[in-house]
Structure 1
Amino acid sequence: MNAPRTVVTDLPTRIRRAEPSDVGALALTGAATFLESFAGILDGRDIVEHCRLQHAPSVYADWLADDAVAAWLAETVSPPAPVGYAVIAPPKLPLDDLSETDLELKRIYLLSRFHGGGVGRELMNHAIAESRARGARRLLLGVYSGNARALAFYARNGFVKVGERRFQVGGNIYDDDVLALDLRA
């Protein structure tokens, strides 16, 4: 069960396209939000190892250098500080009906104190609009099946379960749901 979270809605935020100079901010925000979301749920050593590998600055540098990938950074306005981000890319999910026209929401992360203020929805809007502009048939994602808050957020945004996958975090394997949003509707 997730603990109650404090929502901060009085800090103005902006969302902009991520740039190569944002690599450090993306990596730090990714690791911070992963730790914040899963501390006490997943093994701590697994979280640290996952963040070391999957939230390394080189991961974000590679994504930002790839024209097939799009990323947005959410930050407070004054003073500017990163609070979340979203990344879409070609999909790497275990689905039998995966198409060249599908895209994957690789990550949509937001510090919990900004949950409930509309920033997550705006990040999602950017990802959906870009996916539609690229002619995507579906926007797909994988999410830990025990993350009730994230599952509810995705359901509110029209995503439905279309499959499952096993996801490695550190030395352990966890169950993920694979969700899809039909962009043709």
Structure 2
Amino acid sequence: MNQVIISKASFNELETIQQLGRETFSETFAQSNTAADMKRYLEENFNEHKVRTELSNPDSIFFIAWEDEKAVGYLKVNSGNAQTEIQDHTALEIERIYVRSSHHGKKVGQLLYEKALEIAEDQNKSYVWLGVWEENPRAIRFYEKNGFVTFDKHIFKMGNDEQTDIMMKKNLG
């Protein structure tokens, strides 16, 4: 694998984020969900208006992982009121670490995770938190390996299907 570079995303990469989001979400979750629920989720969460709104929120930051000229993954972190649930100003939420399946096991997720930690430290956050689907053992193991512990659960709506996310956090400092 060539060197992977992590760069902050701008409005110019809106389509890249949309494409990465759709592809990586589908690769990861399509087999476990109905086609109708998947289609609805992708349309609602990766349409141009939604991604543009997220990119323009000063409390949300996107980073793209590039291998040569190809986008292979991305990270979205939220602070303040952009957080999806907790909205604790001493916390940073990792909302998404999405990596193309072709790059699983190649440390791209780790690089994106380390960028999230760097942002949390730069912003003097006390902890980092996230939600991960209870039926995604690969992701759960990844976060546990990186020092996260379970602290709660919440419901994630996937179309008409209510799924349970494990909420995990890692204290910093």
User: TM-score of the superposition, structure 1-length normalised?
Assistant: 0.87
SS of the counterpart of 1:173? strand
Q: Equivalent of 1:66, from 57, 60, 76?
A: 57
Kindly indicate which of the two structures has a greater share of residues assigned to helix: 2
Q: Report Cα offsets for 1:15-72 as digits up to 9, x if no partner.
A: 1111110111001101101110012211221111101111223222222212211110
Aligned to 1:153: 142
- In 1: Cα distance, 2:172 partner to 2:43 partner: 34
Higher relative contact order, structure no. (Cα contacts within 8 Å, ≥ 6 residues apart) = 1
Q: Which residue in the other structure is 1:52 paired with?
A: 43
Q: 1:83 aligns with which of 67, 72, 94?
A: 72
Aligned partners of 2:47, 2:2: CA distance in 1, in Å? Answer: 28
How far apart are residue 153 of structure 1 and its match?
A: 0.8
Aligned residue number for residue 16 of structure 2: 25
Aligned residue type for 1:178 = M
Q: Output the aligned Cα RMSD.
A: 1.3
Equivalent AA in structure 1 for residue 38 of structure 2: I
Q: Match for 2:158: what amino acid?
A: V
> Which structure 1 residue ranges, 4+ long, deviate > 6 Å from structure 2?
none
Secondary structure of residue in 1 paired with 2:166? strand
Q: Distance in 2 between matches of 1:146 and 1:50?
A: 18
- Are 1:140 and 2:132 counterparts? no
Question: Which whole-Å CA distance do the structure 2 matches of 1:125 and 1:43 have between them?
Answer: 33
**Alignment partners' CA distance in 2, 1:76 and 1:106:** 22
Partners of 2:45 and 2:51 within 8 A in 1: no
- Percent identity at matched positions? 25
The partner residue of 1:109 within 83, 93, 98 is 98
Deviation at 1:12, TM superposition (A): 3.4
How far the C-alpha of 1:160 sits from its partner, in A, is: 0.9
Task: Show the counterpart of 1:3.
Answer: none
Which blocks of at least 5 consecutive residues in structure 1 are unaligned? 1-9
- State the distance in 2 between where 1:18 and 1:111 align: 17
Tell me which residue corresponds to 1:7. none
Matched, 1:92 2:80: no
Deviations 1:79-129 (A, max 9, x none): x12111001113222x5xx63211211111001110111111110010111
SS at match of 1:40: helix
Secondary structure at the counterpart of residue 105 of structure 2: coil
